[in-house]
Amino acid sequence: MILPYQATAAGAGGLHPLVLVPGAGGNQLEARLTAGYQPSSLICSFYPVLKQKGGWFRLWFDPTVLLSTFTRCFSERMMLHYDKESDDFRNTPGVETRVCNFGSTESLLCLDPSLKGITAYMAPLVNTLEEMGYVDGETLFGAPYDFRYGLAAEGHPCRVGSKYLSDLKALIEKASTDNGRKPVIILSHSLGGLFVLQLLTRSSPSWARQFVKHFIALSAPWAGAVDEMLTFASGNTLGVPLVDPLLVRGEQRSAESNLWLLPNPKLFGRRPLVVTPNANYSAFEIEEFLDGIGYPEGVYPYRTRIKPLVEELDMVEPPPVPITCVIGTGVDTAEVLVFENGFGDDRRPVVVYGDGDGTVNLESLLALETLWSNQSVKVIRLSSISHTSVLTDETSIREIVGEISSVNSYALSEK
């Protein structure tokens, strides 16, 4: 692959530090069980047999999730619980989780080190960046997180998500300081883009100008996705074969970040997204939808924590940072879900498809360009590139590296 930057600068001395922020499911998670854990079966009480020092084991991704018995163990350990008294989400009692290697790209490369080939995530992109001159831990940094958690509107506690923003901010500052105070390029994928945008809009303009050179967002679901409503209604295997979607639906519904990814009313409007014999649901009827599918416990946290957060997208002041959105188009993407016989555990919808990247609808991918008409938002459209293949397709990687190269080259020309 031809690396454009090699023709404009020699060595890594001219490179702006680069921070990678993964999407949901894009980094490894570890867990350990304590005395408070109440397993649903005898198998879950000792599985997995082999553990690391201190009882830690890989929670995500573990290939044994393909077996239904272990899928149940996985699901109950991934489950989050909303506590109305504290107004925050927490793990299942007796389950501790941690994110490893914050600051490094190690846990972003693949989801299971023993199956690097088939669980590769950012490895193809990172390999190309290293050929370009980036060095992990010196000019290249990873910011993994517990992707089950999200953020909430102002005035609501959000212990895990808020700590991640604080850690990400500190990493950006350190990356800049350690590289001659060069501002950082942030590159995100999917859900990671929402975290980065929140960091930028919650920080002062002077901070953003000092520490962030450019923000490149890949496949960002700025306004959510209809596919998320399918996840809540019927479960989503995320392409993992042999897994019964109903076995993972409970933990997927419980994830705070999944509530955050439901369609934004201001972008999707009042057109029906879910159709049933008795009622239709637009993005304005998410609360009714959650109740209709049998998940009433999701209504209150959505109404109080998430809805005000997503509705402020067009009201916040755009950050004073150049933004490039790299998106896939021309891939069949769920646009309307038709439940011909109503909701039910044994009922999958007929899916009406529209344009997008196979996961995120086009109007969501283009939301910043639509809402921030006064802000320069560059959009790179990649035909027939899916939500995840944006990280592996050679054409896509060439475009991403080209954008990073142009930022670095422009910085050199300013000197």
Q: What dihedral angle (degrees, nearest 10) is formed by the CA atoms of 8, 220, 137, 168?
A: 130
Q: Which pLDDT band, with edges at 50, 70 and 90, does 243 fall under? A: confident
Residue 169 neighbours by CB distance under 10 Å:
16
Residue 407 neighbours by CB distance under 10 Å:
20
User: pLDDT value at position 6?
Assistant: 46
Contact 158, 311 (CB under 8 A): no
Strand partners, 355: none
Q: Alpha carbon of 335 to those of 218, 277, 281, 361: distances in Å?
A: 20, 18, 12, 7
Q: What is the pLDDT of residues 287-337, one digit of tens each?
A: 999 999 999 999 999 999 999 999 999 888 899 999 999 999 999 999 999
Q: Which pLDDT band, with edges at 50, 70 and 90, does 410 fall under? A: low
User: pLDDT value at position 375?
Assistant: 76
Residue 280 corresponds to which amino acid? N
Mean pLDDT calculated for residue range 23-42? 96
Mean pLDDT calculated for residue range 252-257? 98
Q: What is the pLDDT of residues 77-113, one digit of tens each?
A: 999 999 999 999 999 999 999 999 999 999 999 999 9
Residue 11 has pLDDT above 70, yes or no: no
Q: Which ranges of 147-263 does DSSP label H, i.e. alpha helix?
A: 159-177, 191-202, 205-211, 226-234, 245-254, 256-260
Residue 8 has pLDDT above 50, yes or no: no
Q: What is the pLDDT of residues 356-368, one digit of tens each?
A: 999 999 999 999 9
Q: What value does the mean pLDDT of the chain take?
A: 93
* pLDDT cut 90: percent of the chain above it: 85
pTM: 0.95
Pairing of strands 274-275, 212-218: unpaired
Which is higher by pLDDT, 127 or 415?
127
Mean pLDDT calculated for residue range 132-158? 97
Strand partners, 291: none
Q: Which pLDDT band, with edges at 50, 70 and 90, does 414 fall under? A: low
User: pLDDT value at position 411?
Assistant: 53
Residue 303 neighbours by CB distance under 10 Å:
13
Q: What is the pLDDT of residues 370-399, one digit of tens each?
A: 998 777 799 999 999 999 999 999 999 999
Residue 4 has pLDDT above 50, yes or no: no
Residue 5 has pLDDT above 70, yes or no: no
Q: What is the pLDDT of residues 46-66, one digit of tens each?
A: 889 889 999 999 999 988 887
User: pLDDT value at position 269?
Assistant: 96
**Sequence-ordered list of residues with C-beta below 8 angstroms from that of 115, at least 6 positions apart, any chain:** 63
* 3-class DSSP state of 240: coil
Residue 346 has pLDDT above 50, yes or no: yes
Please give the span between the terminal C-alpha atoms of the chain, in angstroms, as a whole number: 28
Residue 261 has pLDDT above 70, yes or no: yes
Residues marked active site are found at: 190, 357, 387
Residue 304 corresponds to which amino acid? T
Q: What is the pLDDT of residues 208-235, one digit of tens each?
A: 999 999 999 999 999 999 999 999 999 9
Q: Alpha carbon of 316 to those of 63, 139, 319: distances in Å?
A: 41, 31, 9
Look up tokens 């590159």; give the residue.
Answer: 187
Q: What is the pLDDT of residues 185-212, one digit of tens each?
A: 999 999 999 999 999 999 999 999 999 9
* pLDDT cut 70: percent of the chain above it: 95
Strand partners, 218: 189, 326
For the chain, state the CA radius of gyration.
Answer: 21
User: pLDDT value at position 396?
Assistant: 98
